[in-house]
Structure 1
C-alpha cells in the first residue's frame, strides 16, 4: 500500500487494485478508480520561493482525473506511486 499525502490535507492511496483520493485529512473519499483504468501520470516540479519548500503538482489520469500538490518530503512516496502505476501492466496511450 502506498500513501501520498498532499500539502492541503488531501491524499492518494494505492492498494494494488485501485487508487483512491481522500480530502479533509483522509476523512472523505471523493474518488476511487481501478488500476485497469490507468492512463498516465504527470508530475511537475515547482521550486520553492521565499523560504517555502519545493512542491510537485501531480495529475493522475484514470477513469477520472485526480490532482494533488505534494511537498518535497513526500517525493520518495510519489516516486514509489509512479513506479507502481507504470509497472502495473496497463499500457499508457
Structure 2
C-alpha cells in the first residue's frame, strides 16, 4: 500500500500509510496524533471558494479515535481525494 500525504496550508500534514493516519505539525517536525484505520468514522471536506485575492481552500475534519482538522490548498485536491477514497474503502 502506498502512502498518501496531504499537505496543509499552514505547515501541517496528514499521512496515511495503510494502517494508520498521522497528523504532523511544524512542517513534519512534531507528530500531533496517530490513529489506526480501524477507528475511522467519518471525513468532512468543505470547500471555501477564493475571494479577496486569497486562493480557494478546503477545510478537512477527520473523525477517528481523535479528531484531526486541516486546511488544504486547492492544489492538494488530488491527494485529498485519494485519502478520502482510501479511508472510505477501509470502512467497507
Same fold (TM over 0.5): yes
Count the aligned residue pairs: 90
CA distance in 1, matches of 2:27, 2:41: 26
Q: Quote the offset at 1:51 in angstroms.
A: 1.8
SS in 2 for 1:87: helix
Question: 1:39 maps to what in 2?
Answer: 41
Of 61, 71, 75 in structure 1, the residue corresponding to residue 73 of structure 2 is 71
The two structures, once aligned, show a CA RMSD in angstroms of 0.7
Structure 2: segments with no counterpart, 5+ residues: none
TM-score for both structures, normalised by structure 2? 0.95
CA distance in 2, matches of 1:62, 1:44: 18
Question: 1:14 maps to what in 2?
Answer: 16
Structure 1: segments with no counterpart, 5+ residues: none
CA distance in 2, matches of 1:53, 1:73: 10
SS in 2 for 1:85: helix
Runs of 4+ in 1 over 2 A off after TM superposition: none
CA distance in 2, matches of 1:74, 1:51: 19
Question: 2:86 maps to what in 1?
Answer: 84
